[in-house]
Amino acid sequence: MDVNEVKIHDHDLVPHKGFKLINGTHDPDDVDQIYNLETRDSDVFVVTYPKSGTIWMQQILLLLEAKGDLTAISKHLNGDLVPWIEVYGQRQMFITAPSPRMRVSHLPFQFMPSALSQKGKVIYVARNPKDVLVSYFYFHKVANMLETPTDFNDFFEKFMRGDVFGSSWFEHIKTWYSHKDDINMLFITYEEMIQDLHSAVERIALFLGKELTDEELADVVKHSTFNNMKNIPQANYEQVSSELLSHHRGRFMRKGTIGDWKSHFTVAQNEMFDKVFHGEMAGIPLFFVWGIKDIA
């Protein structure tokens, strides 16, 4: 099934084994089977909580594979070339797909192929959760399979309760991070990529064992900057039907920066967020960049 075949049933989230799936996009029985998939050494899974840089990483993987040649990847949507493994029908296609199989996923660790502990690689992209929340708020207005929030506060509360597809941001990152040594995983942040995209792409290429010339690497970087990606229709999913995405209400390449939360959070929301963050992340050695000035 390609992206355009996803059916809009209603806005229901389907609770499944402690995680919330989207009705019509995911099938719980199918998702359960992902755990049993055989993996290959050449498999690459990009794992993210929604709105953390999934499409950005799809673009980088595709460009690394094409040695920086944008025209080689321009005919299809990023999500058709590097699909979400949990979208209904994709698991079956994965089984027979030729190598290298590159996939993205928003699933928590416990649903992913157990064989990843033996074969295959994972790139986990983390983003500071305040910016994730804001980006996800706007995406709910665009994506017709997700309920449009009444207002920002309504969405803020849903996000904090984990009452969204992806469930709790805190649980997602903590479970994946706690398994980082059990699998072959590169942990990278959205903010590191913003700060120095060239170094990030070099790290990703090294992790994947891709050998590119300096010129090819520079092309990968050039075609994955926000300014260039915002003009690439397939990276913005512009070909996806208006039944699925209300394109007039927003874009995938929206702001592409760090700290947009500062123009959205009230003082009270920020205090509440910090309190929850510090409680949930106590003892976890992860540090986030919360504003663009922090890296300038």
What is the C-alpha to C-alpha distance for residues 109 and 92, in angstroms, rounded to an integer? 20
In 3D, which of 128, 87, 107, 124 has the Cα closest to residue 292? Answer: 128
| Residue 39 or 105 having the CB closest to ligand PPS | 105
| Residue 167 or 224 having the CB closest to ligand PPS | 224
What's the gap between Cα 10 and its chain centre?
A: 23
- Footprint of ligand PPS on this chain (CB under 6 A)? 48, 50-56, 131, 135, 138-139, 224-226, 229, 252-256, 260
Minimum separation from the CB atom of position 118 to ligand PPS (A):
28
Minimum separation from the CB atom of position 56 to ligand PPS (A):
4
| Residue 89 or 256 having the CB closest to ligand PPS | 256
Minimum separation from the CB atom of position 58 to ligand PPS (A):
8
| Residue 39 or 224 having the CB closest to ligand PPS | 224
What is the C-alpha to C-alpha distance for residues 236 and 161, in angstroms, rounded to an integer? 29
In 3D, which of 79, 57, 60 has the Cα closest to residue 70? Answer: 60
In 3D, which of 124, 116, 117, 74 has the Cα closest to residue 94? Answer: 116
What's the gap between Cα 190 and its chain centre?
A: 10
Minimum separation from the CB atom of position 249 to ligand PPS (A):
13
27 touches 88 (CB < 8 A): yes
Minimum separation from the CB atom of position 48 to ligand PPS (A):
5
| Residue 114 or 175 having the CB closest to ligand PPS | 175
In 3D, which of 199, 221, 293 has the Cα closest to residue 64? Answer: 221
In 3D, which of 241, 204, 222, 243 has the Cα closest to residue 77? Answer: 241
248 has catalytic annotation: no
Q: Return the structure tokens found at 57.
A: 């990483």
Minimum separation from the CB atom of position 34 to ligand PPS (A):
18
Catalytic residue among 9, 16, 26, 106: 106
Q: Write down the residue that tokens 């079956």 correspond to.
A: 92
What is the C-alpha to C-alpha distance for residues 164 and 289, in angstroms, rounded to an integer? 24
What is the C-alpha to C-alpha distance for residues 278 and 287, in angstroms, rounded to an integer? 11
What is the C-alpha to C-alpha distance for residues 191 and 111, in angstroms, rounded to an integer? 27
| Residue 115 or 205 having the CB closest to ligand PPS | 205
State the chain's maximal CA–CA distance in angstroms: 51
Q: What is the DSSP letter of 296?
A: -
- Catalytic residue ranges: 106
